[in-house]
Amino acid sequence: MNEKGKVFDFKDGIVENELVEAADAIRSGKLVIFPTETVYGIGANALSEEAVSNIFLAKGRASDNPLIAHISNFEMLKDLVMEVSPLEQKIIDAFWPGPLTIILPKKKIVPYKVTAGLDTVAIRMPENEIALKLIEKSKVPIAAPSANVSGRPSGTNIEDIIEELSDKVSIIIDGGPTNIGVESTVIRVVDDIPVILRPGKITPEDLIRVAGKVKIDNNVYSKPEENSKVLSPGMKYKHYAPNSNCILVTIDDGEEKQIEKVNNIINENTNKKVLVLSCTEHMKNYNTDLVLNMGSKDNYNEISKNIFTLLRKVDSYLPDLVVIEGVKKEGIGIAIMNRLIRACGYNII
């Protein structure tokens, strides 16, 4: 068993000498877990092939799934990418710093280890003071995937992260629970139209406001065909899944039908331990002892903030079956559904 990483508490503010220690760790090729506004990231020097290899080892991540390089200023962007079109620049200006990742043609300086062999690199400037200061002090871009073992729900609170990863990294910076709770919107501009490869807090409507148009990649809600060419390798992988068997019950036919379907599943499985993830307003409708609150149906930001922590928590009840209420595919609800569909392994009714 490896030594456990140090935990730095920045919840009440950045501790300067510890920030310096974390930045030194990044510069010397070590792994540092840090908060962003979306989820926590496992960071390493994005310009060092060896440092980045350690991320893949720590996560057990498939080597063909590329990483996001996090930057703290626009100079860094110029260093990493060949060119930024006027439309790409407009999108960047509108949403950075913030929960938007953009895929751009890479310069030679970006190791193929980061991009998993692709000639493009994913770049994001996070809107989180700790993340920005860490990048600034490290003086290098930081490659960082979500802080979780591959396939597991992304890390959004420090307890889950320490339990899962503390023996795999040098330092963990505690910045409190992350605000948004689902990962950044990933886009690529194709033929002057932004294409959403992974939905997030920046919604299609937000992008239309800036770019006039938007497309949502087909694989956002569906499973890519076997061996098909996907625009974003991450789409192929099982993700966000509890160990328990999960079913997603959509709201597409209305709330009453949704409640009825959940109750049908509970009634058909009286000999089993069924756990329900429900919006606050529907909890009282379910005749089982195990109902967890996802947040209000009128506040999808609350549901998005809670969702990964809840997906991790369900396993601790050792349920035979987990039934999850879907949300409307609107606003950040699109991102929530994208994650829930994968968490349930495309098991949807």
Which residues are near ligand TXA by CB under 6 A? 36, 38-39, 41, 65-68, 101, 103, 115, 118, 120-122, 124, 126, 144-146, 183-184, 186, 197-198, 232-234
Q: How far is the CB of 236 from ligand TXA (least distance, A)?
A: 8
Nearer of residues 23 and 276 to ligand TXA, judged by Cβ: 23
Q: How far is the CB of 67 from ligand TXA (least distance, A)?
A: 5
Instruction: Round to whole Å and give the CA distance between 226 and 224.
Output: 6
Q: How far is the CB of 348 from ligand TXA (least distance, A)?
A: 21
Nearer of residues 186 and 259 to ligand TXA, judged by Cβ: 186
User: Which among ligand TXA, Mg ion, none contacts residue 41 (Cβ within 5 to 8 A by kind)?
Assistant: ligand TXA
User: Which among Mg ion, ligand TXA, none contacts residue 290 (Cβ within 5 to 8 A by kind)?
Assistant: none
- Is residue 232 a contact residue for Mg ion (CB under 5 A)? no
Instruction: Select the residue interacting with Mg ion from 101, 146, 185, 304 (CB under 5 A).
Output: 146
Q: Please give the size of the binding site for Mg ion, defined by CB under 5 A.
A: 1
Scanning 19-27, 130-138, 145-153, 282-290 for contacts with Mg ion by CB under 5 A, the matching segment is: 145-153
User: Which among ligand TXA, Mg ion, none contacts residue 309 (Cβ within 5 to 8 A by kind)?
Assistant: none
- Is residue 36 a contact residue for Mg ion (CB under 5 A)? no
Nearer of residues 36 and 309 to ligand TXA, judged by Cβ: 36
Nearer of residues 55 and 246 to Mg ion, judged by Cβ: 55
User: Which among ligand TXA, Mg ion, none contacts residue 113 (Cβ within 5 to 8 A by kind)?
Assistant: none
Structure tokens that stand for 97 in this block: 């710093």
User: Which among Mg ion, ligand TXA, none contacts residue 132 (Cβ within 5 to 8 A by kind)?
Assistant: none
Nearer of residues 103 and 266 to ligand TXA, judged by Cβ: 103
Q: How far is the CB of 145 from Mg ion (least distance, A)?
A: 5
Backbone angles phi, psi at 4, to 5 degrees: -85, 145
Beta-bridge partners for 100: 185
Nearer of residues 232 and 288 to Mg ion, judged by Cβ: 232
Residue type, 117: G
Residue type, 130: I
Instruction: Round to whole Å and give the CA distance between 58 and 145.
Output: 11
Q: How far is the CB of 272 from Mg ion (least distance, A)?
A: 31
- Is residue 38 a contact residue for Mg ion (CB under 5 A)? no
Nearer of residues 48 and 101 to ligand TXA, judged by Cβ: 101
- Is residue 185 a contact residue for Mg ion (CB under 5 A)? no
Q: What is the dihedral of CA 342, 343, 347, 349, to 10 degrees?
A: -100
